[in-house]
């Protein structure tokens, strides 16, 4: 398929990009890595009259530890950059583990964390991970920047808390200390590689018991979510297989599991429990 005709702009500053969005309104779409926008343009599910390519804006791809105990990740940082980032591997290994299972090498070399989060595909891998990390998304508009907690960012399928004239410029994640274990596991769709179910786990363990649990799940419903019932069932418990399995059985509490040609809602809910158990046990084994 060939996309409908469009006008192309490649701004070199965030301010210039925002100006183009203000000028063209709903007729404009942001292009980052292109792995979300271009496929739907080719199928003509989106037909923007203006494409604003932010890929040439310098400084939006940096990954660095900040003085406030967090790690800042530029919105244009690629999945490959996250996978191989030394600072993330040392201080927040959940993100490199997640990035490593996104698509294939070509996708990881071009796709960006900002583009993926802004698209908010419920089967994408980052949403569950940023929820489990209590990450912050920095959005920049014409009146300045604001910080959106990950818990407030994902509104519905393909819908976020971003305003019409805003661009994600940065993602902030915490430095994880000793005694914290993390894991991301998923059941990938055999054709697309997207997560039929993906589970991110962050566990703080002390004295052989779980002190804190954060479980982010994507692929199950119309948006990624925190599995609060699982978290509650884990805190204060020794993380043996029986206790973890009982907690993981609550992975879809309060959530309507999606059904499609690959997986029925019942099968997807079953996978959510299975992969939640796997993620928690793996994260627990890494807590030191």
Average confidence (pLDDT) per 10 residues, the chain, 288 residues: 92 97 96 90 93 96 91 98 98 98 95 97 97 98 96 97 97 96 98 96 96 98 98 97 98 97 97 98 94
Q: According to the model, what pLDDT value does residue 35 have?
A: 83
Q: According to the model, what pLDDT value does residue 67 have?
A: 80
Alpha-carbon gap, residue 223 to 154, rounded angstroms: 7
Q: According to the model, what pLDDT value does residue 104 have?
A: 92
Q: According to the model, what pLDDT value does residue 91 have?
A: 96
Report DSSP state, residue 38: H
Task: Provide the token pair at 219.
Answer: 């692929």
CB atoms within 10 A of CB 139: 22
Q: Which residue is associated with the tokens 């410029």?
A: 169
Q: According to the model, what pLDDT value does residue 246 have?
A: 98
Alpha helices in 146-288 (DSSP H): 150-153, 228-234, 241-248, 265-286
Q: Are 182 and 287 in contact (CB under 8 A)?
A: no
Alpha-carbon gap, residue 41 to 38, rounded angstroms: 5
Contacts of 206 (CB under 8 A, 6+ apart): 179
Alpha-carbon gap, residue 194 to 107, rounded angstroms: 12
Q: According to the model, what pLDDT value does residue 69 have?
A: 86
Confidence (pTM): 0.96
List C-alpha distances in Å: 227 to 184, 188, 231, 238, 271. 14, 20, 6, 19, 14
User: At 185, is the secondary structure helix, strand, or coil?
Assistant: strand
């Amino acid at each position: 398929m060939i996309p409908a005709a469009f006008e192309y702009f490649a701004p070199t500053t965030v301010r210039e990009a925002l100006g183009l969005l203000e000028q063209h309104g709903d007729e404009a779409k942001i292009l980052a890595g292109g792995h979300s926008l271009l496929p739907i343009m080719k199928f003509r599910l989106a037909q923007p009259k203006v494409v604003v390519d932010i890929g040439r804006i310098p400084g939006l791809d940096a990954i660095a530890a900040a003085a406030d105990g967090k790690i800042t990740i530029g919105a244009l940082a690629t999945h490959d950059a996250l996978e191989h980032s030394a600072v993330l591997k040392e201080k927040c290994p959940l993100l490199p583990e997640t990035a490593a299972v996104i698509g294939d090498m070509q996708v990881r070399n071009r796709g960006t964390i900002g583009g993926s989060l802004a698209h908010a595909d419920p089967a994408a891998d980052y949403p569950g991970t940023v929820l489990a990390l209590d990450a912050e998304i920095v959005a920049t508009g014409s009146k300045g920047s604001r910080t959106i907690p990950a818990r407030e960012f994902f509104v519905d399928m393909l819908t976020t808390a971003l305003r019409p004239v805003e661009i994600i410029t940065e993602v902030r994640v915490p430095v994880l200390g000793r005694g914290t274990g993390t894991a991301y596991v998923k059941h990938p769709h055999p054709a697309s590689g997207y997560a039929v179910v993906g589970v991110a786990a962050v566990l703080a363990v002390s004295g052989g018991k779980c002190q804190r649990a954060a479980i982010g799940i994507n692929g199950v419903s119309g948006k990624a979510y925190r599995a609060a019932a699982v978290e509650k069932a884990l805190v204060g418990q020794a993380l043996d297989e029986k206790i973890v399995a009982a907690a993981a059985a609550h992975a879809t509490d309060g959530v309507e599991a999606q059904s499609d040609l690959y997986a029925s809602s019942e099968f997807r809910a079953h996978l959510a429990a299975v992969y939640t158990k796997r993620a928690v046990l793996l994260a627990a084994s890494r807590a030191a």
